[in-house]
Chain A
Amino acid sequence: DGGITQSPKYLFRKEGQNVTLSCEQNLNHDAMYWYRQDPGQGLRLIYYSQIVNDFQKGDIAEGYSVSREKKESFPLTVTSAQKNPTAFYLCASSLASWAEAFFGQGTRLTVV
């Protein structure tokens, strides 16, 4: 089935460690996005990519990094510079930048 796969669903890390969240899609979508979700704050855009080997910062990019080496993959690294990394992370993709976004099931990251 076509869709977006995020892994793992739950992730625990110690403070000061970098961690990479996986996002893969087989929808042949050009655009991919990473959002962070905190209670009562909705979704905030971290990074987005509209084409392979190109990506742009969103509203809260500090402490995060991404790569887009393949069309189907858009991994997010949460670095030790991110001051409050515990959150629910959502990956999405869309056929074009104006089209509906399809979401993965999310990764809940807890840093202890």
Chain B
Amino acid sequence: GENVEQHPSTLSVQEGDSAVIKCTYSDSASNYFPWYKQELGKRPQLIIDIRSNVGEKKDQRIAVTLNKTAKHFSLHITETQPEDSAVYFCAASRAGGFKTIFGAGTRLFVKA
């Protein structure tokens, strides 16, 4: 069935360092890959997304890369700041499907 694996489950970095979170999906028909950030006690919010016809997308300090052949996609955060501390979820959905399949989440700690 559809599955998204996410690593690592916890990531601790120093302020100013980069953070990388990796995900693997199982459904080769997946064509939309969003990333959500959920701060403590808050709602998940989309921070960046990528579609299967694009290999990389960047928005200021965050970027996402997609390798369709390997079914991998990754989130890169540069120059991390304490306010980047949150849980990050990768997700995938397939063409024609109703569902968004979430990864297990990565808890990111940015130490000042």
Real binding pair? no
Residues of A within 8 A of B (CB): none
Residues of B within 8 A of A (CB): none
